[in-house]
Chains A and B, each alone.
Chain A
Amino acid sequence: MNMQWIDILLIILIASSVVAALIFIIKQRRNGKGCCGGCSGCAYRSTCHKKDTK
């Protein structure tokens, strides 16, 4: 497979986006069990996020 610098750059970009997304999801899930992710406007947020309720 012939790889150019642009291919390597794009692979790095996609890989770092996936890592960032994964970190985001893990952080969010670690905060609360059963958090759907739609918590910032949720009236029931504190049921998932006991510590981070401000």
Chain B
Amino acid sequence: MTLKEVKIGDSARITQIGGEGALRQHFLDMGIIPGTEITVSKLAPMGDPMELTLHGYELTLRLADAELIQVEAIAEKKTADTKKSEKKRSHHPGLGEGGKFHPKGSGTPLPAGTIMTFALVGNQNSGKTTLFNRLTGSKQHVGNFPGVTVDRKDGAIKGHPDTLITDLPGIYSMSPYTSEEIVSRNFVLNEKPHAIINIVDANNIERNLYLTMQLLELNIPMVVAVNMMDELTSNGGSIDFNEMEMKLGVPVVPISAAKNEGIEELIEHAIHVAYYREPPVIKDFCEKSENGGAVHRCLHGICHLIEDHAEQAGLPIRFAASKVAEGDELIISQLGLDENEKDLMEHVVCQMEKERGLDKSAAIADMRFRFIQKLCDETVIKPKESKEHIRSRQIDKILTGKYTAIPAFIGIMALVFWLTFNVIGAWFQGLLEEGINYITEVVDASLTRANVNDAIHSLIIDGIFTGVGSVLSFLPIIVTLFLFLSLLEDSGYIARVAFVMDKLLRKIGLSGRSIVPLLIGFGCTVPAVMATRTLPSERDRKMTILLTPFMSCTAKLPIYAFFISAFFPRQGGLIMTGLYVLGIIVGIIAAIVYRNTLFRGEPVPFVMELPNYRMPGIRNTAQLLWEKAKDFLQRAFTVILIATIAIWFLQSFDLHLALVENESDSILASISQILAPLMKPAGLGDWRICVSLVSGFIAKESVVSTMKILFGGDVTAFMSPLTAASLLVFSLLYTPCVAAIASIRREYGKKWALIVVVWQCVIAWVAAAAVHLIGILIGK
């Protein structure tokens, strides 16, 4: 039978893995290999995907992919050995310490003045960025879903200016599956760091060690940092580090990055192995006696056959041999083997497959997991089910429950928006607005008293104070929305949303993983575009990038709030929600169009790990909020300030640089007369509206400040509610700001960035014209 047929709560043993290519390799790397026992925990509310437990962690998989995996039923799953109370006292090998490989002070140290480079490598969500922050003292953002880091980050270890450590995106193996994983693999292979710090999650050690074994094959000095030890020990687990160090042949250091425990010892060992160039003692993990030694003989045979090629290509021999056996095309072409040699390899691998009874990829993965299993049996006392996991299961009963998941998601999002716009954010906004008004009045009175020149007076009060002040008052709302989005992200809920929404998103041609960038898009389009790097297929990436502008970003909030308070104060909540929903609906329609035109084909398989829920760290959240507030203030006093002064100038002077009596004679009016006829069918034919919308291309907040300057405060006297409605819809859908377009250009190319600008403007124009037309018809 197939895995798809296994009932919820039942366990089965994997007998065969179907599928092909990168997906199959990814299955194997995630520990889905023949012989593994697997339990089906639950199905997503819409019946697909399924959640599985294997090797002590949770994985999600679509039913269509589960159908590729053959299993046999087992009566009862083996429970983890939690006793193992009697332990022999093991000897400390002392790897990575002075006086072991060589007498203290001798060895073959790096030349003086060399900057020691380190790569921080580990599985996704294993705490790499938390450790990076501890090691370097930097303040990189950390989150609780797989794939927060999408590119490398560099920094020096605190107190060691001669070091350079690089935080890499999380990877599950050295067979890259997503574009961010390629970043990590290429860094380790091409930049050849002096040492690797491999971070391993103590609570999920079996799967984490799979990557460790491949890293050891690289023959680069390495330290294994076993993270989250505090959680393991508090749940009754423990690890015999001496024994583990002996078996792995590299220093193994217990740490808790979150609690800053063991970091000094880790730094000492890492610097030692890098400085004295101490490579792993053991690189060979295939047992001669295991399954007739088929894998052992195959790998050793290949090692001899490719030795010269590997040296020429600058690849570690053992690593290259494993990859050749697995059939990694990239490595095979790098080796530059001739046809005879390729034939020879193929025969060697075929013989291994025949003797082992498994295909090449499965046989190599099985060899690694067997070693890990043996190592863990001898060195790890598994904890009882952790408090965090029990709590996660209980929370998930509601948040991913069959009947409760979707209502819970809608409820949580509604609560977030209600608290932001009606309670917390709105209250602070009112307070700040009063403060700004008071300061404006004081300055206005002082300028009048000092008899300041009228033009300068107008520039300060009608230009700077009105423009910058109107944008500044939205600071509390934006910070509050970011607070809630960051809490959702840090708690681990966003990964669940991806699980719950996968089936729904698949209907519009996307995978559940796309929900992460799309939700980030409600904050800002720039990081949303970057977050698409976690998606494993180009098709899904491009399609998600094209959809992010439909998610209304926080910079548009001032526009909505400004017009709602002026024209629709009683229906504020309804209109605000309506705008967000409209953005999503138009996005869905666009996705369906894309799926049937530009992006035919199927979305990528949904293979994702579900992390435990965690309490978001106060420090991390507070720091994020402070940074967001600081950035917003910077924008207000740089981009917005310059824009308001420029708008005031263009509005107050004519082409002969003379002060104008009537604004319609100004430079601004002359320029924008060109745009006005084009916008008239959408009800936005007023030149002042056109100018405001154009200024929004620089920064969306600028729309409000420009309007305030051009309309002189009260817009209701110059605009009808219908125009305001068209304007709101146009603002929601038209081109993202220049920063977002620049990030789309970087990810997708100049041509597509330009297409996004034009396409979004066309959609916005059509939607605004429709609103205008409907409004006129109803009005009649």
Contact = CB atoms under 8 A, between A and B. Distances in A.
Given A21-B638, A25-B639, A54-B136, A40 B742 contact: no
Given A4-B453, A11-B456, A25-B638, A34 B746 contact: yes
A41 B154 CA distance: 16
A43 B148 contact: yes
Q: Determine the interface band of chain B, counting residues with CB < 8 A from chain A.
A: 35 or more
Interface stretch (B266-274, B413-421, B627-635): B627-635
A29 to B, nearest CB: 9
A25 to B, nearest CB: 5
Given A34-B739, A41-B631, A18 B136 contact: no
B452 interface: yes
A34 B526 CA distance: 8
B642 interface: yes
Interface stretch (B98-106, B137-145, B543-551, B680-688): B137-145
Interface string B137-171: 01011010000111111111000000000000000
B422 to A, nearest CB: 25
A21 B149 CA distance: 31
Contact of B460 (A2, A10, A40, A45): A10
Contact of B642 (A6, A22, A33, A34): A22
Contact of A18 (B148, B154, B524, B642): B642
Contacts of B148: 43
Interface residues of A, number: 33
B742 A33 contact: yes
A21 B456 CA distance: 19
B631 A38 contact: yes
B631 A39 contact: yes
B642 A21 contact: yes
A41 B624 contact: yes
A47 B632 CA distance: 20
A54 B166 CA distance: 10
B131 to A, nearest CB: 15
Given A6-B452, A36-B739, A39-B631, A44 B642 contact: no
Nearest to B637: A21
A36 B628 CA distance: 12
Interface string B153-191: 111100000000000000000000000000000000000
Interface string B644-660: 01000000000000000
Interface centre among A1, A21, A39 (most CB of B within 10 A): A21
Contacts of A39: 631
A21 B631 CA distance: 13
Interface string B617-632: 0000001101110111
B450 interface: yes
Nearest to B459: A14
A26 B714 CA distance: 34
Nearest to A17: B641
A24 B155 contact: no
A32 B452 CA distance: 41
Contacts of A54: 136, 138, 154-156
A46 interface: yes
Interface in B409-450: 450
A1 B641 CA distance: 25
A38 B746 contact: no
A17 B636 CA distance: 12
B530 interface: yes
Interface centre among A24, A33, A48 (most CB of B within 10 A): A48
Contacts of A24: 634, 638
Given A42-B141, A54-B136, A54-B138, A36 B451 contact: no
29 contacts: A3-B453, A4-B452, A10-B456, A14-B459, A14-B460, A14-B464, A33-B742, A34-B526, A34-B745, A34-B746, A36-B524, A36-B739, A37-B638, A38-B524, A38-B628, A38-B631, A38-B635, A40-B630, A43-B149, A43-B530, A44-B531, A46-B151, A46-B152, A47-B150, A47-B530, A48-B743, A54-B154, A54-B155, A54-B156
